[in-house]
């Protein structure tokens, strides 16, 4: 399966949310989508899941234009929006059966998949709990199950690990990683460690433009030699590119991404994906 | 269309609303409608009054279903429309509608499912009204049994109107730009105007007017006259529906009047079938009108920041009363403001009778539907969680909202 974006642009009245994005996504990839707030990540995911239409450009799924024929994409995509809304008075099971039926699944098939997913996401005992009484993490996991129901070949998830505890976060990203063997999985998140753990490719957006499209290793290389660590007695004004700041007895231990050596005492250290993301976005 | 999908959509929507506390309350209110509708000329507000100087009002059980159907036929669709008209807009506002569209959901399944859910909700409420009436019978008239047809037929006569209301709610919601408060105001006004036309027209042979008689007013009145004419030789002339009790306090009528349910009439039956066909065409139109994609609603970040700065500045200088006032005004559609202003200007220049009978009622409907939040804004947005941590803020908020509204 191949998903191609050709010069895709999306404008909202006087704001350009996405500008001339081109990319080619294949099955077997878990693609991490990174960018600051307002960079256009959610808009891009909505374009791919046919919720909105691009102002210009084409999106092709196996050569077929999904802007003109959204049903082609809609029959094969599983989408998790940024904010999961579920009817608060329905139970988890009722809600999942509802979504399964909307996806056109029969009762038996729905039952089989729902039971399996409830076990995978540790929600076996929550089936009869009303959505309004569920915790944020439970709602989020229910939302992820909704996206995965019906065995979609393209999975688009917007911030899936928000509100999950560390154990659940790992479980979710491992499931997504497993699914990406035969599918296209697009994972948008602010949590760089999630992407670091499972992504084979990273798309980075800034102000609606695609500023990076390659492997995580290549991204880390970009910041090589530009990551520094040093200690200061107190913070200076207008410091940029700080990736961590720890208060110690000796002062403030700072990790900073910068093209220039920020302090005489600064020592160059190995870059991480988080440093690299900061480096590219600060550039 | 797939019946299983329609069933699941209708079931989910129905359960979501039927499990709310408000549904329980409105169902109890429907039962109360039965209690309220039993004619009593000494009550402060009389539900139904017919030739009070001839007939003893509400003297036997046959009055109960007829009075409830007459009052309920007028009030129930309007109250019901307000109650059911929010299911599609809720999905739209929370993005669920678009998420489901990305699942290849067919619009026809969705709209029909929502319509059926509306219909189930209103049917349950109407059944509650019937149960209330059934309770009233032994309570008011312990030794006077009522034939099943006489009891049930007036209620069934209103049912096509309930189908119409359910379909009307769906079409109002399928148009995104009027799906919220503006749609409520438009819906209430349209229902009220249709009723007024039916109530006051002398050209009742007009097939369009007949077909749109959702309140079943004419059929019930004909059935009433069928019982009245053999006794007094002419149709009912002195009547009152939902009038102040004092108007008929001195009436001396002692003649017994028995109704016989809805008088069978093929012409009215066809009218009701036409109303159902109109309802189906409204559903079809709703399917066509429902958007396929999310509309462009975002504005530029700069503009947002500018707006935010302005808002922040004003709130900074103002107090909570002014903040509440501004928030209430901001949430109201401009079109409704314009409509209320036009009605206000008309009411200054129009004849007093006309103003009292029509314009003030229309203004009341507009203002009530505008200012009613139809679900507490603070609860919906979790603002109460912040407010509870601040001393007296909830009480102040309620007071300021109240004073801000006028």
pLDDT of residue A129 exceeding 90, the answer is yes
The most confident of B4-13, B40-49, B91-100, B330-339, by mean pLDDT: B4-13
For B102, the closest of A51, A104, A107 (CB atoms) is A51
Residues from A in contact with B at Cβ < 8 Å: 12-15, 17, 38, 46, 49-53, 70-71, 73-75, 77, 79, 81, 83, 85-90, 94-95, 97-99, 101-104, 106-107, 130, 150
For B8, the closest of A14, A89, A98 (CB atoms) is A98
Provide the pLDDT for residue B103: 85
Rg, Å, chain A Cα set: 21
pLDDT of residue B36 exceeding 80, the answer is no
Provide the pLDDT for residue B401: 66
Packing angle between helix B181-200 and helix B360-371, nearest 10 degrees? 160
- The 3-state DSSP class for residue B29 equals helix
Residue A10, CA distances (Å) to A55, A71, B82, B334, B359 in order: 5, 20, 37, 29, 47
Chain A contact probe: residue of B5, B16, B294 with most A CBs at under 10 A: B16
Judge contact between A13 and A168, C-beta under 8 A: no
CA A260 vs. chain centroid, Å, equals 31
For A102, the closest of B5, B16, B20 (CB atoms) is B5
- The 3-state DSSP class for residue B244 equals strand
Q: What angle do CA A147, A152, A153 make, to 5 degrees?
A: 130
- The 3-state DSSP class for residue A20 equals strand
CA distance B93 to A45: 18
**Percent with pLDDT over 70 in chain B:** 81
B94 touches chain A (CB under 8 A): yes
Cross-chain residue pair A99–B103, CB shorter than 8 Å: yes
Q: Which residues of A touch B303 (CB under 8 A)?
A: 14-15
pLDDT of residue B5 exceeding 80, the answer is yes
Q: Which residues of A touch B297 (CB under 8 A)?
A: 12
As a dihedral over the C-alpha atoms of residue B347, residue B352, residue B358, residue B364, rounded to 10 degrees, the angle is 60
Provide the pLDDT for residue A263: 86
Length of chain A: 283
For A101, the closest of B5, B17, B104 (CB atoms) is B5
Per 3-state DSSP, what percentage of chain B is helix, strand, and coil (rounded to 5)? 70, 5, 25
Judge contact between B104 and A104, C-beta under 8 A: yes
Provide the pLDDT for residue B373: 53
The average pLDDT across B265-273 equals 91
Residue A127, CA distances (Å) to A81, A116, A168 in order: 21, 12, 17
CATH code, residues A2-220: 3.40.50.300
For B16, the closest of A38, A90, A97 (CB atoms) is A90
B5 touches chain A (CB under 8 A): yes
pLDDT band (50, 70, 90) for residue A197:
confident
Which range has the worst mean pLDDT, B178-182, B280-284, B400-404?
Answer: B400-404
CA distance A262 to A239: 9
The average pLDDT across A113-124 equals 92
β-pair partners for A8: A21
B350, with CB counted inside 10 A (0-12, 13-18, 19+), is: middle
Judge contact between B228 and B50, C-beta under 8 A: yes
Kind plus residue range of the DSSP H or E element containing A61: strand A56-61
Judge contact between A61 and A72, C-beta under 8 A: yes
Cross-chain residue pair A79–B96, CB shorter than 8 Å: no
CA distance A208 to A21: 8
Residue of A nearest to B105 (CA): A102
Nearest-CA distance from B124 to chain A in Å? 18
- pLDDT per residue over A235-252, tens digit each? 888 788 898 899 988 889
Q: What angle do CA B48, B51, B57 make, to 5 degrees?
A: 55
pLDDT band (50, 70, 90) for residue B369:
low
pLDDT of residue B323 exceeding 90, the answer is no
Kind plus residue range of the DSSP H or E element containing B284: helix B266-289
Provide the pLDDT for residue A252: 92
B99 touches chain A (CB under 8 A): yes
Residue in B271, B84, B43 with CA at minimum distance from that of residue B184: B84
B107 touches chain A (CB under 8 A): no
- The 3-state DSSP class for residue A206 equals strand
Q: Which residues of B touch A69 (CB under 8 A)?
A: none
ipTM of the prediction greater than 0.85, yes or no: no
CA A211 vs. chain centroid, Å, equals 16
In which residue are the tokens 């549904």 written? B23
Residue of A nearest to B106 (CA): A102
Cross-chain residue pair B103–A102, CB shorter than 8 Å: yes
Which range has the worst mean pLDDT, A24-28, A166-170, B274-278, B394-398?
Answer: B394-398
Which range has the worst mean pLDDT, A247-261, A267-281, B329-343?
Answer: B329-343
Length of chain B: 406
State the average pLDDT for chain A. Answer: 90
Provide the pLDDT for residue B30: 84
Q: For chain A, give every residue range classified as CATH 3.40.50.300.
A: 2-220
Provide the pLDDT for residue B79: 87
Provide the pLDDT for residue B405: 56
- pLDDT per residue over A85-116, tens digit each? 888 899 999 999 999 988 888 889 999 999 99
CA distance A147 to A52: 18
Provide the pLDDT for residue B136: 85
Nearest-CA distance from B5 to chain A in Å? 5
The average pLDDT across B95-116 equals 89
How many Cα atoms within 13 Å fall on the side-chain side of residue A263?
20
Q: Which residues of B touch A74 (CB under 8 A)?
A: 101-104
Handedness of CA B143, B148, B149, B151 (dihedral sign): positive
Backbone angles phi, psi at A56, to 5 degrees: -140, 165
CA distance B277 to B160: 10
Q: Which two tokens stand for residue B210?
A: 């007949």
**Percent with pLDDT over 90 in chain A:** 47
As a dihedral over the C-alpha atoms of residue B39, residue B40, residue B43, residue B49, rounded to 10 degrees, the angle is 60
CA distance A179 to A191: 20
B330 touches chain A (CB under 8 A): no
CA distance A205 to A213: 9
Residue in A144, A138, A146 with CA at minimum distance from that of residue A95: A146
Judging by DSSP bridges, how do beta strands A267-268 and B45-50 pair with one another? unpaired
Judge contact between A20 and A8, C-beta under 8 A: yes
pLDDT band (50, 70, 90) for residue B380:
low
Q: Which residues of B touch A38 (CB under 8 A)?
A: 301
- pLDDT per residue over B72-85, tens digit each? 888 889 889 988 88
Q: Which residues of A touch B4 (CB under 8 A)?
A: 101, 106-107
Provide the pLDDT for residue B396: 72
């Amino acid at each position: 399966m191949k998903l191609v974006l050709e010069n895709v642009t999306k404008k909202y009245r006087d704001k350009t949310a996405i500008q001339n994005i081109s990319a080619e996504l294949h099955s077997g990839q878990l693609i991490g989508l990174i960018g600051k707030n307002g960079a256009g990540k959610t808009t891009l995911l909505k374009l791919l899941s046919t919720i909105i239409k691009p102002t210009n450009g084409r999106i092709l799924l196996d050569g077929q234009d999904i802007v003109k024929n959204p049903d082609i994409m809609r029959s094969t995509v599983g989408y998790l929006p940024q904010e999961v809304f579920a009817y608060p008075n329905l139970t988890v099971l009722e809600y999942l059966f509802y979504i399964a039926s909307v996806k056109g699944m029969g009762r038996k098939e729905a039952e089989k998949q729902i039971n399996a997913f409830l076990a995978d996401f540790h929600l076996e005992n929550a089936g009869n709990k009303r959505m309004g009484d569920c915790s944020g993490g439970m709602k989020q996991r229910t939302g992820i199950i909704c996206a995965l129901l019906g065995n979609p070949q393209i999975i688009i998830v917007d911030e899936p690990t928000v509100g999950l505890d560390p154990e659940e976060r790992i479980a979710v990203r491992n499931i997504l990683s497993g699914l990406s063997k035969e599918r296209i999985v697009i994972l948008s998140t602010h949590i760089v460690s999630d992407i670091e753990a499972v992504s084979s490719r990273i798309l980075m957006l800034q102000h609606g433009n695609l500023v990076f499209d390659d492997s995580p290793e290549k991204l880390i290389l970009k910041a090589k030699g530009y990551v520094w660590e040093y200690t200061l007695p107190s913070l200076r004004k207008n410091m940029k590119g700080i990736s961590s700041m720890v208060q110690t007895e000796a002062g403030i231990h700072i990790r900073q991404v910068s093209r220039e050596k920020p302090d005489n005492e600064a020592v160059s250290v190995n870059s991480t994906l988080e440093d690299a993301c900061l480096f590219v976005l600060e550039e | 269309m797939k019946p299983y999908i329609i069933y699941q959509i209708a079931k989910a929507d129905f359960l979501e609303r039927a499990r709310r506390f408000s549904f329980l309350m409105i169902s109890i209110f429907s039962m109360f409608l039965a209690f309220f509708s039993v004619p009593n000329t000494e009550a402060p507000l009389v539900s139904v009054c017919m030739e009070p100087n001839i007939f003893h009002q509400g003297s036997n059980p046959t009055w109960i279903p007829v009075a409830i159907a007459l009052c309920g036929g007028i009030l129930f669709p309007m109250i019901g429309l307000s109650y059911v008209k929010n299911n599609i807009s809720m999905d739209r506002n929370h993005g669920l509608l678009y998420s489901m569209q990305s699942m290849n959901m067919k619009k026809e399944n969705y709209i029909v499912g929502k319509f059926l859910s509306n219909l189930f909700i209103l049917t349950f409420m109407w059944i509650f009204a019937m149960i209330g009436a059934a309770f009233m019978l032994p309570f008011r008239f312990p030794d006077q049994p009522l034939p099943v047809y006489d009891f049930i037929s007036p209620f069934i006569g209103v049912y096509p109107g309930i189908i119409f209301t359910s379909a009307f709610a769906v079409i109002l919601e399928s148009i995104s730009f009027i799906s919220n408060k503006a749609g409520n105001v438009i819906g209430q006004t349209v229902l009220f105007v249709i009723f007024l036309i039916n109530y006051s027209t002398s050209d009742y042979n007009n097939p369009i007017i007949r077909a749109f008689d959702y309140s079943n007013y004419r059929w019930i009145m004909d059935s009433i006259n069928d019982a009245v004419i053999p006794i007094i030789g002419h149709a009912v002339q002195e009547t009152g529906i939902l009038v102040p009790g004092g108007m008929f306090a001195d009436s001396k009528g002692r003649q017994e009047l028995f109704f016989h349910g809805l008088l069978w009439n093929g012409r009215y039956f066809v009218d009701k079938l036409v109303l159902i066909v109109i309802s189906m065409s409204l559903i079809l139109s709703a399917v066509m009108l429902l958007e396929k994609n999310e509309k462009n609603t975002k504005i530029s970040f700069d503009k947002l920041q500018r707006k935010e700065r302005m808002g922040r500045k004003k709130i900074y200088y103002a107090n909570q009363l002014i903040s509440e006032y501004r928030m209430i005004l901001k949430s109201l559609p401009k079109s409704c403001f314009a409509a209320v202003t036009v009605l206000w200007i008309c009411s200054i220049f129009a004849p007093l009778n006309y103003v009292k009978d029509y314009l003030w009622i229309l203004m009341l409907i507009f203002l009530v539907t505008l200012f009613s939040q139809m679900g507490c804004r603070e609860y919906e947005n979790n603002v109460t969680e912040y407010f509870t941590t601040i001393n007296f803020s909830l009480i102040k908020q309620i007071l300021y909202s109240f004073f801000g509204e006028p």
